[in-house]
Amino acid sequence: MWLKDANCAHTIGHDPLGIGNGELGWVDALAFVAGINYGTYNISACASYTNHYSNWHLPNSNELASIINYSVPDNSPWLNSAGFTNVIPDYYLSSTTRMFEMTGAPLVGPILVGMRSGGNWGGGFVNYLEESPSNPWAGHYTWPVRVDELVAGTAPVWKTGQTTCYDGMISLGWKVVDCAGTGQDGDIRSGIESNGLHHVLRTMQTAQ
């Protein structure tokens, strides 16, 4: 279940970076979701239900990709018309990270998924991009999700397979840390186990 408000941080005035539009850095996003679970942040203004849940997590890249409608150029109005609010036509942070190189140096960054397509947005495909590790103030949007059990009639989301977590410092040489309690993909491991065919199809899609 997704939080009804796709920009809850902005709705409740949570703005650690001082950007003013709800964007959070990756570390801040993980801390924000943890704060929701601990009751630090009152998100009643962001939801259409009164129950307090304590199992929200920052979605992994597959979970974010699962809500994309590839037949429309901009998913924000489509998702807003489906019952969500404040879905922004921009990049959302995932809990999934990937290794890459910049100027020959190995780096780690969170994967971002765009809610809009066309032009630099991937021409209809979800964008798997890395947040720039050189900019600790780079902000993107945060949309918590929670999973209790698979609801009948819904399609399962594959696990990403990530089992490694990092210290979260936006800098060169991120250190591998124990995943427990980090809220990162390697900690939550949301989804079901995939098979070889899934990996082949996913590789074909993201390679375009």
Q: Token pair of 60, please?
A: 């992994």
User: What amino acid occupies position 29?
Assistant: A
Residue in the block written with tokens 């900690």: 187
Give one DSSP letter per residue of 34-102, joined into a string.
Answer: HHHHHTSS--GGG-S--PPPS--B---HHHHHHT--TTSSBHHHHHHHTT-B---SSEEEEEEEEEEEE
The whole-model pTM stands at 0.84
The residue segments making up the domain with residue 35 are: 8-206
Nearest to 89 by CA among 123, 120, 117: 117
Residue partners of 12: CB distance under 8 A and separation at least 6: 41, 42, 43, 45, 46
Chain centre to alpha carbon of residue 123:
20
More confident residue, 158 or 125: 158
- Tell whether 3 is covered by a domain: no
The domain tally of the chain equals 1
Let me know if residue 2 belongs to a domain.
Answer: no
- Is there a domain that residue 127 lies in? yes
The verdict on residue 126 lying in a domain is yes
pLDDT the model gives residue 180 = 96
pLDDT digits (tens, 9 = 90+) for 157-185: 889 999 999 886 544 556 889 999 999 99
